[in-house]
């Protein structure tokens, strides 16, 4: 049995890590392909080191570019890799360009595809990730889901129940496996923070950062919040470029209680989240992680593809209106936060279930 998995971005690395550990335990032949969609040290190599991932067997070195450029280059490079390796099955994770390109290349070559984190839907076709999710699921023969809403979505799209496997959340496998180690991070001391005495912000989605109007609106919200509590902002390269190009640097620079940092390694960021009073984000994965950690989260979007974080977790979706976001944040910071609980099967054993099923499929 030979499995080939494809990753390209930080969220992918976090999702593949527990699967790699299970492949090792069971002595399953595994080929790890890194497309190079994220390629600098903080966005790639540091995560491999901290998650104890092996050096990729293949690094395609795709780099940055438009969606079409990235997908096209990945497809061309993967065709040769898949033809040479001849895996029994290809595993893709998440919803990034590397996910869709990997699934498409394998399907065209007649190789079965398994999608980890299948069925999540925002129903917002302006999101590049939604396109990747839907197309990857349509291509994949084995659909591993993290929550019940994903099962329903796939059934509503005409998929057979036998193709859908509710296994839990590999992202949470990784979090639970590294939470104790992350607690020894010195990030709070380095940033002069006290536990539960600060907020965390992440921001990178095109809907928030690709136009001056939308980015200025979010910055205005943060400007108000940082008056009440220190905010730490590990800034994504895309967001940094937008702040500079839209001339918003001076506005951000005047915020005395806002601390900008470069992108952080996994352990530092997990420690930062775990000790935060509140997290504000437009990231899907962070909605899940804050739910697992029991940290109040406000999602800076009009929708979420992870509704279990709303029904079970600590996540709040309050529209993008400044007044509503500020009111929700102040309520959460005053210890009237939403009580959350761990969603079903978010128990650190998702990867084990997936690998058991993969063995059944291939035998």
Q: Using CA atoms, how far apart are residues 262 and 121, in angstroms rounded to an integer?
A: 30
- Least Cα distance to 290 among 282, 302, 300, 278 occurs for 278
Q: Using CA atoms, how far apart are residues 7 and 14, in angstroms rounded to an integer?
A: 10
In order of 61, 116, 144, the CA distances from 33 in angstroms are 10, 16, 20
Count Cα neighbours of 205 within 13 Å in the Cβ-side half-sphere.
Answer: 23
- DSSP letter, residue 166: E
Positive or negative, the Cα torsion across 317, 159, 152, 102? negative
Q: Is 141 helix (H, G, I), strand (E, B) or coil?
A: coil
Contact 131, 125 (CB under 8 A): yes
Q: Using CA atoms, how far apart are residues 337 and 194, in angstroms rounded to an integer?
A: 19
Order of strands, sheet of 29-34, starting from the edge strand that comes earlier in the sequence = 58-59, 29-34, 2-7, 89-93, 113-116, 142-145, 164-166
Does residue 38 have an active-site annotation?
no
341 Cβ partners below 8 Å, 6+ apart? 312, 313
- Least Cα distance to 275 among 350, 200, 165 occurs for 200
Catalytic residue among 204, 236, 312, 335: 204
Exposure pattern of 181-193 as b/e (b: 16+ CB <10 Å)?
Answer: ebeebebbeeeeb
In order of 31, 170, 194, 270, 348, the CA distances from 177 in angstroms are 23, 11, 24, 11, 8
Q: Using CA atoms, how far apart are residues 73 and 112, in angstroms rounded to an integer?
A: 21
β-sheet bridge partners, residue 165: 144
Q: Using CA atoms, how far apart are residues 161 and 163, in angstroms rounded to an integer?
A: 5
Which amino acids are annotated catalytic? 204
């Amino acid at each position: 049995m030979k499995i080939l998995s494809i990753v390209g971005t930080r969220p992918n690395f976090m999702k593949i890590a527990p699967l790699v550990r299970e492949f090792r335990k069971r002595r399953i032949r595994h080929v790890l392909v890194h497309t190079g969609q994220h390629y600098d040290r903080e966005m790639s190599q540091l995560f491999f080191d901290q998650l104890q991932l092996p050096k990729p067997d293949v690094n395609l070195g795709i780099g940055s570019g438009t969606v079409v450029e990235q997908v096209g280059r990945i497809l061309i490079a993967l065709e040769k890799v898949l033809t040479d390796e001849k895996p029994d099955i290809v595993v893709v994770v998440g919803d990034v360009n590397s996910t869709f390109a990997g699934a498409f290349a394998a399907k065209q070559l007649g190789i079965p595809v398994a999608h980890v984190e299948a069925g999540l839907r925002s129903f917002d076709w302006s999101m590049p990730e939604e396109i990747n999710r839907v197309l990857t699921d349509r291509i994949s023969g084995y659909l591993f889901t993290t929550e019940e809403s994903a099962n329903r979505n796939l059934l509503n799209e005409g998929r057979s129940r036998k193709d859908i496997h509710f296994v839990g959340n590999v992202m949470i496998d990784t979090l639970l496996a590294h939470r104790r180690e992350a607690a020894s991070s010195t990030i709070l001391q380095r940033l002069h923070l006290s536990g539960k005495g600060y907020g965390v912000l992440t921001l990178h989605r095109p809907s928030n950062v690709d136009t001056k109007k939308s980015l200025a609106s979010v910055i205005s919200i943060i400007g108000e919040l940082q008056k009440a509590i220190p905010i730490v902002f590990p800034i994504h390269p895309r967001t940094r470029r937008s702040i500079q190009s839209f001339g918003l640097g001076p506005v951000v620079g005047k915020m005395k209680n806002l601390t900008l940092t470069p992108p952080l390694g996994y352990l530092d960021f997990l420690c930062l989240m775990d000790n935060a009073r509140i997290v504000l984000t437009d990231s899907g994965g962070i909605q899940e992680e804050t739910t697992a950690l029991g940290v109040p989260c406000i999602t800076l979007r009009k929708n979420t593809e992870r509704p279990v974080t709303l029904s079970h977790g600590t996540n709040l979706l309050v529209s993008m209106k400044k007044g509503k976001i500020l009111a929700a944040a102040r309520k959460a910071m005053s210890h009237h936060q939403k009580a959350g609980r761990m969603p079903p099967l978010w128990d650190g054993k998702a990867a084990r279930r997936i690998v058991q099923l993969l063995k059944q499929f291939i035998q």
